Structure 1
């Protein structure tokens, strides 16, 4: 797969300063064939996916849900990409679902009777769930960078990501009860496992109150808070570069096993890990990494084969 709008950039050697690379990450418009997403390459092994509907506060319309699946399925197969950074264009990360655009699917599903209407509505819900599950299924780590508001579906999206960063002005809201429904595309399933505090999750989901950056950091929803978006994007890019410099066998295996262990017992996860590494330990990357450590070389100087 070849994405458009690629730029080149070297970490630590810095042919182009990090901030200059950050300023070039936003194209200002979607990347064809997508209509809601802009795809760029701030570095050879890093893919930047930007939610690009700033004039609609990045509200999630019908096209967005299918384009997310197409985009991340392509990324999963892209041997060049080792890490993904996801962000939102414009003033906020996302206002959540685009109610005007989605009303037909949700309020008037097809069907002649209750059974058929319910069957079709279930298929729609499962389809929308996949739009964020595809982030979790993608073997490449996904760093999500949040600024301003992250409402409703935005919380579903970020809880499916691997690493969450935000700006000091960011705030989060599980908004669904305010519009008459229970969040149904991932928040109620993933948020309790992300922050590990059932009481807080229940409070957020049942009251739809806003959570601001400092509380998000203290409860574990995000791991870092930055003063502004530009600094955050630079931090996300630097972190992505650190991850991308490691063995892709090790990195992708780590993500897959972390997710497996979240949903299984310790013993089941240990068994899965043993089966995983009985083949993955035979990689040349292990010897290369060990040799670099013994010679006190940076992993950024080691060339790992594509995966």
Structure 2
């Protein structure tokens, strides 16, 4: 498996564990982070043995967001021409957006296991995941407003589908902190666990449940849910009818039905 400088990646029992691995920098997102995450999720998408993904952070925090050294580097490359600066900045922003689009568009379910700080760019990342879980020490904040900018890598586009509009506006306008209990109450996370080890064990158990299902059924379910974010109900019904016209012919359906009738655990091919 490829070695990465900003991540540690492991594949065990059909579950890919993608760990942000810069604990000495609170897992701040440096230049390598943004390019490596695209490669990692391309590998995940292409590898049939992967059926579910967990994203976590090494050390005391999930991630403190974008590395300030990276922002300084981007600023140092700007010149005196406003038009050329704008073009260069836009290219950088779009390239960074593509990094989290790779997470969002991954065909496999992605589960975020969050502890400690989840700030700024880290909110963009977990917003791109299918589900979010945290430990009781987790703290969340949309901090871009305190840096004099609007969040531009996905938070303001994806969070409206996760938490209420009014509350999102409050958090985005004020940059205030949200603790684990509030995060669960507002629907930002599915569940809170006492400490990071319990969190990871629980998320791993959920990932194992998903990995035990038909990979075609899980992929199809994610595709339909993602499609419905931007389409009408009748469009979605038409799409799933076309999708299942093919997928209902899969051997997985016969295996699942036979296992149900015999009260045995099914085993599906990758």
Q: TM-score, normalised by structure 1?
A: 0.85
Alpha-carbon separation, structure 1, partners of 2:140 and 2:223 = 27
Alpha-carbon separation, structure 2, partners of 1:192 and 1:166 = 20
The CA deviation at 1:288 is 0.6
Aligned 8 A contact 1:62 1:102 in 2: no
Tell me, yes or no, if structure 1 residue 143 matches structure 2 residue 118: no
**Which residue matches 2:16?**
47
Tell me, yes or no, if structure 1 residue 269 matches structure 2 residue 236: yes
Alpha-carbon separation, structure 1, partners of 2:105 and 2:77 = 28
Equivalent in 191, 197, 201 of residue 159 of structure 2: 191
**CA-to-aligned-CA distance 1:89-145 (integer Å, 9 cap, x gap):** 00011111111233222x244567322221221111010001111111110101110
Aligned 8 A contact 1:49 1:84 in 2: yes
Number of aligned pairs?
270
**Which residue matches 1:34?**
4
Tell me, yes or no, if structure 1 residue 164 matches structure 2 residue 132: yes
RMSD of equivalent CA atoms:
1.2
**Which residue matches 1:212?**
179
Tell me, yes or no, if structure 1 residue 83 matches structure 2 residue 80: no
Aligned 8 A contact 1:140 1:252 in 2: yes
**CA-to-aligned-CA distance 1:131-161 (integer Å, 9 cap, x gap):** 1111111101011100011000010000100
Alpha-carbon separation, structure 2, partners of 1:113 and 1:55 = 37
Alpha-carbon separation, structure 2, partners of 1:89 and 1:108 = 30
**CA-to-aligned-CA distance 1:274-306 (integer Å, 9 cap, x gap):** 1211111111101110111111112xxx22121
Aligned 8 A contact 1:111 1:120 in 2: no
Alpha-carbon separation, structure 1, partners of 2:25 and 2:87 = 31
For 1:47, what is the secondary structure of its paired residue? strand
The CA deviation at 1:44 is 2.3
Alpha-carbon separation, structure 2, partners of 1:112 and 1:288 = 65
Equivalent in 195, 215, 218 of residue 251 of structure 1: 218
**CA-to-aligned-CA distance 1:255-285 (integer Å, 9 cap, x gap):** 1111111121111111111121111111110
Alpha-carbon separation, structure 1, partners of 2:66 and 2:42 = 22
Q: Map of 1:1-307 to 2, 5 A cutoff?
A: 3=1, 32-41=2-11, 43-105=12-74, 107-110=75-78, 113-195=81-163, 197-298=164-265, 302-306=266-270
Q: TM-score, normalised by structure 2?
A: 0.97
Aligned 8 A contact 1:72 1:138 in 2: yes
